[in-house]
Structure 1
Amino acid sequence: MNIELLEELLAAESAWRKKEIADLILISEGNDNPPVILKSILLQLYAHWEGLIKRSAKLYLRYIKERNHKFHEVELNFKALVVKNIIAECIKNQNSLHLANEMNIIQKLELENLKYAVGINVDNDQDNSIIDTESNLTPEVLRKILNVIGLTYRQEYEAKSSYLDKNFLHRRHTIAHGSKIENDESFCLDIVTILNLRKLVFSILDIIIDEILEYAINGFYLVDNKDKLEQYLQQQKSRIQAVFSEL
């Protein structure tokens, strides 16, 4: 996978999801926004929130894997993924009475030509071995995923975490579990709320996808580019603040 293909795949993933939500909103507005459609939009918005994060992160990990970098060249989070994979192989035979697996780990980590290689199945949505949304992509789970792929969890995301928990994730959880909400005055769901949530959710997703591309293009996942990464993060700070000032 080259950078052009990565960009194409990420753009396509985002586009069809945005279109699907836009189509549902048009249907809702054309029918005076019935509650049943608003609930469906909220559920689908969550599905794309979780799906796009998982898919984008996996594509990024696959891109890095195909660069064939050596273990010592990549940042600490990627080294940790390699070690996790090696240890997982060892655990499969944890009842063994000898130390062959443990010694194999040490030998692999001591090899100077050890490659960064992590098995990642982009097309298997049920594979949670590396990117695990825990079927409930809260701000805290998002933080963990960004940490796995080496991206920064922004202060702006944290500032919106309570809003997302209350107005997005809690409502999604309630609807998904079949609770009747039509007569619950504390559960207000209208088209304005839906539109605001869509804007916030896709703003965060757009920023993360843009950053994945920048990290891939500039090799910010490599130890040698740490200083360049710091410069980029500073430059990006004001842009993200501007985006969130409109939300």
Structure 2
Amino acid sequence: MRQLRTVDLLLEHLDEDMAWRIKEVHQFKTAVEKASGKNVDAHIRAGIAMLYAHWEGFVKGAANAYVNYVSHRANQNRDLKPCFVALGMKTKLASANASSKSEVVIDAVTYLLDELNRPIRLPRSEAIGGESNLSSLVFLNITGWIGIDSTPYSTRFPLIDATLLDNRNRIAHGEYLSVNAERFYELTGEVLEMLRWFKTDIENAAVQNSFLKA
């Protein structure tokens, strides 16, 4: 990922990443509309797998782009929301949590206190998204790391887990799946809407400096 040093670069990156995904989703939708017979089911199965790929790809990519942007701000740890401080120090904190030795834990706490007055040090690529399969629980974890309110998405969690992820897994394992064209069109609209929500949330967070403490 390129270095997103300014808000404009971040917004441009998100626009570009969203644009090609929307184009590809509409191409699959058009393919289903033009298909006939058994080809309809084949295009729908491929389309559902593709929809999931764009759901996971955009959310993880946008979250990492936002972290990349925040990493270039050079704000001190004490000025940032705890989620970003935790993200920058999670390796150190994890080692302390896994140890029963006093010197390891004390060293981690000393490190934390010393870092408060220093610029944030965040990974600038792949800071988020090591977990596979973007279920609602994984999505909640991602929004937690970057301070995005997940509440508006909660009504879509059954869709994410049962309709999108479970069906994608069944398709990936070679199972036959029959979803009618009308439901596929609805699912296409619902997934694109969620991606637009997330894009807007990231954009607003960056523009409004939501990564800083109130």
- Normalized against structure 1, the TM-score is what? 0.76
Check if 1:69 corresponds to 2:75. Answer: yes
Alignment partner of 2:25: what SS? helix
Counterpart of 1:106 in structure 2: which amino acid? V
Report the equivalent of 1:36.
42
Report the equivalent of 1:5.
9
Higher relative contact order (CA 8 A, sep 6+): 2
After TM superposition, list the pairs within 5 Å mapping 1:132-211 onto structure 2: 132=129, 134-154=131-151, 156-181=152-177, 188-211=178-201
- Residue deviations 1:183-235, cap 9 Å, x none? xxxxx412211111111111111111111111111111111xx3xxxxxxxxx
Counterpart of 1:218 in structure 2: which amino acid? Q
Counterpart of 1:7 in structure 2: which amino acid? L
Task: State the alpha-carbon separation in 2 of the partners of residues 91 and 120 from structure 1.
Answer: 24
- Normalized against structure 2, the TM-score is what? 0.87
Superposed displacement of residue 140, structure 1: 1.9
Task: State the alpha-carbon separation in 2 of the partners of residues 142 and 205 from structure 1.
Answer: 12
Superposed displacement of residue 135, structure 1: 2.0
Corresponding residue pairs, total: 207
Superposed displacement of residue 72, structure 1: 0.3
Counterpart of 1:21 in structure 2: which amino acid? V
Report the equivalent of 2:26.
22
After TM superposition, list the pairs within 5 Å mapping 1:91-110 onto structure 2: 99=103, 102=105, 104-110=107-113
Task: State the alpha-carbon separation in 2 of the partners of residues 165 and 190 from structure 1.
Answer: 19
1:133 touches 1:141 (CA, 8 Å); kept in 2?
no
Alignment partner of 2:10: what SS? helix
Task: State the alpha-carbon separation in 2 of the partners of residues 29 and 89 from structure 1.
Answer: 53
Alignment partner of 2:150: what SS? coil
Counterpart of 1:58 in structure 2: which amino acid? N
Unaligned runs of 5+ in 1: 123-129, 182-187, 227-247
Task: State the alpha-carbon separation in 1 of the partners of residues 20 and 121 from structure 2.
Answer: 30
Task: State the alpha-carbon separation in 2 of the partners of residues 215 and 66 from structure 1.
Answer: 15
Superposed displacement of residue 168, structure 1: 1.8
Q: Percent identity?
A: 26
Select which of 107, 118, 121 maps to 1:117: 121
Task: State the alpha-carbon separation in 2 of the partners of residues 66 and 18 from structure 1.
Answer: 29
1:133 touches 1:142 (CA, 8 Å); kept in 2?
no
Superposed displacement of residue 28, structure 1: 2.2
CA-atom RMSD in angstroms: 2.3
Counterpart of 2:139 in structure 1: which amino acid? L
Task: State the alpha-carbon separation in 2 of the partners of residues 77 and 42 from structure 1.
Answer: 33
Counterpart of 1:192 in structure 2: which amino acid? E
Select which of 128, 141, 144 maps to 1:131: 128
Counterpart of 1:31 in structure 2: which amino acid? A
Task: State the alpha-carbon separation in 1 of the partners of residues 111 and 74 from structure 2.
Answer: 16
Residues 133 and 140 (structure 1 numbering): CA distance in 2 closer, same or farther, change over 3 Å? Answer: farther
Residues 175 and 133 (structure 1 numbering): CA distance in 2 closer, same or farther, change over 3 Å? Answer: farther
Superposed displacement of residue 103, structure 1: 5.0
Alignment partner of 2:24: what SS? helix
Alignment partner of 2:153: what SS? helix
